[in-house]
Structure 1
Amino acid sequence: MANIDGEDNLRLDVDITSTNGTVSTPAYTIKEAPLGTTRQIRIVGIGAGASGINMVRTLKLRLKDNYDHVVYEKNTGVGGTWHENRYPGCRCDIPSHNYQFSWRPNREWTNFFSPAEEINAYLCRICEDEGMSDSVIKTEHEVISAHWNEAQGRWLLVVAHLRTGEQFSDYADFLIDASGILNNWKWPDIPGLHDFEGDLLHSARWSSEFDYKDKVVAVIGNGSSGVQIVPVIHPDVKKMVHVVRTPTWILPPRIQLFQMGPAAETINSIDLDDDENFSPEQIERFNADAALYRNFVKTIEKETNSNFPIMLKDSPTQAYAAVQVRQYMAAMLGGDETLCKALIPDYALGCRRMTPAPMYLQTLTQDNVQVVTDAIRRVLPRGLELANGDVVEVDAIICATGFDVSFCPRFPLVGRNGNLQDIWRNNVPQAYMSCTVPGLPNYFTFLGPNAPIGHGSVFTLAEHIATYIAGVIQKCQTEGIKAIVPSQAAVDDYSEHIRAFMPRTAWTSSCNSWYKGSGSDGTVTALHPGSRIHFFHMLETFRGEDYEYVYESDGRDDGAAPRRNRFHYLGNGFSTKELDPEGDPTWYLDDIALTAEDGGSSKKRTRIKSQL
């Protein structure tokens, strides 16, 4: 029977009586724990590049306790792309002092654009100093399958220890994929490639034993790797054959652009030599003067963030920039009509990734360089057969031909709707704000479909994405949420917005680009529909209405599916904020300051932001 106490109408048990008898609904029980109590969870990360490393620290700060975290890294060391890519001339084309974590400034970068070895050393130092190498990150381990178990509300994993060949099972309440998009390198699809009898290398798998001195070397590809390799090895080769299928926009040295813009005063006050190395005295000034260093970093960051208007198709900014870059390229090619026609694009500036490449264009004008624009019909044991029938004999082939950028996972990733590999092979990859995927509960990814991978430093991108992910996990850990996933309706709406916005940009112009899913006019899948700041702003707020939830059982069980009350986490009426002996139960007085104005007739609330 209904248990009603006077006018309070407090219902604990309800007996529903009908002609067929009485059915009793089990009592709802209070969770005997304070609000804010965290449940024990296990988090598995994939990849220990910049994103994976930052995620370790972010979880430490946000979750604090009651979680286990392991990161499986397939390589022998940390660093991701900077561990793997060691070809001659490999460096970042983002200024060094902005290609770092905001929480770990490095005042001793040696060059305005850091070489690969220096970036990797920076990441390795962080792992050692933060104690990640031994406690969290497991190198030479690769996740080879992941299946979502609905009943358990967790991912069931199979992991391979690559050194021993052993395979074992693991599980994750939350799975975080930080394996990256520019990570799965691939050979070009050219008949006979692996029958070549000379040296065959890929830029992402460079051999330190390869000696290119006095050899005829073919470099296939003019993406960001190819344009760095060519000018560095050219002085030592006998002849260089550079195969270019699609022209690419080559920017003037980035520092020259900074010197002509709003950052000119700051840049011109910095002591750099002709090779853009910081002088020892300048490094010492950065170490000694925190205000100088901070102003330098913020000025360059602001200038980098201001480039998005160039990407807007048919805008005056784009038109002006295209004219300037075209003139620069022609000048660096010495006005050579044949080279200019072959190498200066006729598509919109920014349709392919714009690349600064000091000395690249000048190198192509040298007598011992042959620029090939014909397709390669096949590779012969000692050379290349071109589409026009010509044969070019070479001693070595360097494939600077990039990566598999299809977004398809490398391993079976089976969620509620099946294997994501199959779904994304047959359909345009779609994600929610680039970091969650419909049908994959408790799964997060860095730089998934339509992330701002071409918008600037990946380090600060990783920080914002990690903060968003950690916030979602913390919500689940403290609010009794067993599984969380973006709704298909929300992802459909988000994708519709992307499709409507992209025609405004140069990225949709007709060109072959890894930004697109397939073909010169394919769907743009790699880039965010807006500026870098737009992406940061978007992730500031968690839109809970765009997600679907499965809650933990609240203790009721009528023999069928257990009922779940979304407010069960509210607990016994107390809060962990008041029960923590090391906490501050009046924290809200530090967060809000009341300032009297006009003689106390009005009050204004001022938010005081805490600084980490």
Structure 2
Amino acid sequence: MTPVELMAQPNGHTEDAKPSQHGAAYTIREQPLGSTRHIRIVAIGAGASGLNLIRTLRLNLTDYEIAVYEKNADVGGTWLENRYPGCRCDVPSHSYQFSWRQKKDWTNFFSAADEIGDYLCRVCDEEGMRDSIKTSHQVVSARWNEADSRWELVVRDLESGEEFNDHADFLVNGTGILNDWKWPDVEGLDAYQGHLIHTARWPKNFDHTGKTIAVIGNGSSGIQVLPELQPGAEKLYHIVRTPTWVLPPRIQAWKIMGQAGEILSKIQMDAQENFSQETIDKFQSDPEFYREFVKKIEAEVNNSFPIVLTQSPVQAFARAKVTEYMTAMLGGNQELCRALIPDYPLGTRRMTPGHSYLQALTKPNVVIKRCGIKRFVAEGIELETGEVLQVDAIICATGFNTSFIPRFPIVGRDGNLQEKWKKETPKAYMSCAVDGLPNYFTFLGPNAPIGHGSVFTLSEHIAKYVVAAIRKCQTEGIRSLAPLRAAVDDYFEHVTAFMPRTAWAAPTSSSSSSWFQDGSGRVTALHPGSRIHFFHMLERFRGEDWEYDYFPSGIDGEGAGKRNGNRFAYLGNGFSTKELDPKGDSTWYLDEGAVVR
């Protein structure tokens, strides 16, 4: 044992105890700076966010345990649940992956749902994450215990139906935003006697061939599923209330005017944008070429933000080009153009590529119904016009509950978040935390950049931010932390003032609003800036925006029930774990680049 290690051993000193400003005698904690306390973390959801959290914890924390509760029978989140015909990601495959687990054999430029789901399962298995995940388990309530500074949870085993209690020092919500599917808000759902299907719950044995079908909705799900059903259907009614912008193939646009034009000219794809085997082999054998391709595609994804700024020349140029494209794809049919080309800014609703969708709308067996639905009846759908559509199947591409209201009670210092957000616009601190909910973090909370590009790299940045905050608590004697209400209000004020610059805040031409907005027209789903802006924002933890409770003894939890001990108790006995680690380098600061200047 070195002299430093010997001196750092606990010696039982008590003569330095002095009355403190907190009323009790203050004593030095006989542990070195950097010591950790054991913590339990519970995460909800084993999609991309949950898997990223597991990995980030492994890289940055010790002395912890993690349990991830997933309601589905397997990992994958939205890519396990959504398997309707034509379901795929509208973000390029080589951007829609973990930066730390890149896949070089994606089969298509825009990956199908089953391939993304398989990728997530493979990552989970090969990284040995399943021991931390409990599938078919659903958190049904969470309540903050102020006295013990921990979350008390009730969890249901969905296979047995039994409920049990659990607890967590930190609760991380990774349930996502696009997986709580909903039926259309119309009368008579139980009255209809035919096949009633939601795209997020597609039956594997459903055969649409020869049937008369109604497809409700023209969001991304409707745009993807309709051209898959049109060829085999006897007749297809497409019911839309609000037109939507349908983008031309992005590869063509990027080849003409993007940063990726040169690299895209060096790859081979067929008409369906499947990569040739030669291209896949090149990705696997030439790491420099693969890296250049991935970075150029990522840059194109990041460069889309100026389009949604309504006063920018990019918006005007892009809107004119998309209008020109849609008109051409609709064969110049003025009736279809009037019904399907929006009169609101590009980006007010989610923009989706849909080459085959527009072509399908021109087929003789497709009828567009630009109106609302009055109710479902036994034989089909009664429109607001009074017309009744007799159909064999109704396909509801009607999206998800995107209100941000939690699906289960989350009770913090100010009551149940469910009730709070039913009454007021959901607000969060940088989308990651909520005032009044100590030791609670969330992926893709209110005003996250969910429409800006890949959620994979997005979740990586959020995970790093969350884990850094948890480590701060674990090593600095902090029992709990929560964002200050004033900080949340200031952030919300900035969001509210910024959003009128964007197409996201613009009204649509009918009563059908974008899911980007809440019921009052405020933009709750998107970040007030670019994707890079969000990443930059999360680079530094703004400690001044948070309120803290400290352990009286600084780190180990002694003195439960007391609040706000000495914030510097974690400094301990004057030594550092950096000098006591036998495998560490106690002169790391002499290495090049070790000290930031």
TM-score over 0.5 for the alignment?
Answer: yes
TM-score (norm 2): 0.94
CA distance in 2, matches of 1:25, 1:102: 50
Give 3-state SS (helix, strand or coil) of 1:444's partner.
Answer: strand
Q: Is 1:251–2:247 an aligned residue pair?
A: yes
Larger radius of gyration: 1
Aligned to 1:160, which of 156, 162, 167? 156
Pairwise CA distance, 1:606: 7.4
Q: Is residue 434–residue 448 contact of structure 1 (8 Å, CA) maintained in 2?
A: yes
CA distance in 1, matches of 2:250, 2:110: 9
Aligned to 2:323, which of 323, 326, 332? 326
Aligned to 1:503, which of 487, 497, 500? 500
Per the alignment, residue 33 of structure 1 pairs with 31
Pairwise CA distance, 1:163: 0.6
TM-score (norm 1): 0.92
Per the alignment, residue 217 of structure 2 pairs with 221
Aligned to 1:271, which of 268, 272, 279? 268
Q: Which residue identity lines up with residue 192 of structure 1 in the other structure?
A: G
Pairwise CA distance, 1:589: 2.3
Q: Is 1:179–2:175 an aligned residue pair?
A: yes
Matches within 5 A, 1:207-606: 207-261=203-257, 262-511=259-508, 512-518=513-519, 522-554=521-553, 561=562, 564-592=565-593
Pairwise CA distance, 1:314: 2.1
Per the alignment, residue 19 of structure 1 pairs with none
Count the aligned residue pairs. Answer: 576
Per the alignment, residue 598 of structure 1 pairs with none
Per the alignment, residue 97 of structure 1 pairs with 94
Q: Is residue 25–residue 558 contact of structure 1 (8 Å, CA) maintained in 2?
A: no
Q: Is residue 548–residue 564 contact of structure 2 (8 Å, CA) maintained in 1?
A: no
Give 3-state SS (helix, strand or coil) of 2:355's partner.
Answer: coil
Q: Is residue 18–residue 27 contact of structure 2 (8 Å, CA) maintained in 1?
A: no
Pairwise CA distance, 1:358: 2.3
Q: Is residue 156–residue 170 contact of structure 1 (8 Å, CA) maintained in 2?
A: yes
Per the alignment, residue 192 of structure 2 pairs with 196
Give 3-state SS (helix, strand or coil) of 2:94's partner.
Answer: helix
CA distance in 2, matches of 1:447, 1:558: 36
Pairwise CA distance, 1:590: 2.6
CA distance in 1, matches of 2:558, 2:396: 61
Per the alignment, residue 45 of structure 2 pairs with 47
Pairwise CA distance, 1:189: 1.2
Give the root-mean-square deviation of aligned CA atoms.
1.8
Q: Which residue identity lines up with residue 584 of structure 2 in the other structure?
A: G
CA distance in 1, matches of 2:571, 2:457: 35
CA distance in 2, matches of 1:235, 1:93: 22
Residues 533-565 of structure 1: per-residue CA shift (max 9 Å, x gap): 000000000000000000012289999946610
Per the alignment, residue 6 of structure 2 pairs with none
Residues 75-127 of structure 1: per-residue CA shift (max 9 Å, x gap): 01100000000000000010001100000010000000000000000000011
Identity %: 61
Give 3-state SS (helix, strand or coil) of 2:591's partner.
Answer: helix
CA distance in 2, matches of 1:27, 1:48: 46
Q: Is residue 91–residue 113 contact of structure 1 (8 Å, CA) maintained in 2?
A: yes
Q: Is residue 69–residue 136 contact of structure 1 (8 Å, CA) maintained in 2?
A: yes
Q: Is residue 172–residue 440 contact of structure 2 (8 Å, CA) maintained in 1?
A: yes
403-412 or 581-590: which moved more? 581-590
Q: Is residue 483–residue 549 contact of structure 1 (8 Å, CA) maintained in 2?
A: yes
Pairwise CA distance, 1:297: 0.3
Q: Is residue 413–residue 436 contact of structure 2 (8 Å, CA) maintained in 1?
A: yes
CA change 1:15–1:41 in 2 (3 A) is closer
Aligned to 1:72, which of 69, 73, 78? 69
Give 3-state SS (helix, strand or coil) of 1:466's partner.
Answer: helix
Q: Is residue 557–residue 563 contact of structure 1 (8 Å, CA) maintained in 2?
A: no
Q: Is residue 479–residue 548 contact of structure 2 (8 Å, CA) maintained in 1?
A: yes
CA change 1:496–1:190 in 2 (3 A) is same
Per the alignment, residue 123 of structure 1 pairs with 120
Residues 207-260 of structure 1: per-residue CA shift (max 9 Å, x gap): 001110110011100000000000112111111111111100000012112111
259-268 or 553-562: which moved more? 553-562
Per the alignment, residue 59 of structure 2 pairs with 61
Q: Is residue 191–residue 378 contact of structure 1 (8 Å, CA) maintained in 2?
A: yes
**Poorly superposed stretches of 4+, deviation over 3 Å:** 10-16, 555-563
Q: Which residue identity lines up with residue 296 of structure 1 in the other structure?
A: F
Q: Which residue identity lines up with residue 30 of structure 1 in the other structure?
A: I
Q: Which residue identity lines up with residue 55 of structure 1 in the other structure?
A: L
CA distance in 2, matches of 1:526, 1:430: 10
CA distance in 2, matches of 1:451, 1:540: 15
Q: Is residue 247–residue 343 contact of structure 1 (8 Å, CA) maintained in 2?
A: yes
**Structure 2: 5+ residue stretches without partners:** 1-14
Give 3-state SS (helix, strand or coil) of 1:235's partner.
Answer: coil
Pairwise CA distance, 1:54: 0.7
Q: Is residue 49–residue 456 contact of structure 2 (8 Å, CA) maintained in 1?
A: yes
Residues 26-84 of structure 1: per-residue CA shift (max 9 Å, x gap): 43111111111110000000000011111100000010x21010000000110000000
CA distance in 1, matches of 2:253, 2:559: 70
Give 3-state SS (helix, strand or coil) of 2:452's partner.
Answer: coil
Q: Is residue 26–residue 557 contact of structure 1 (8 Å, CA) maintained in 2?
A: no
CA distance in 2, matches of 1:571, 1:207: 60
CA change 1:488–1:606 in 2 (3 A) is closer
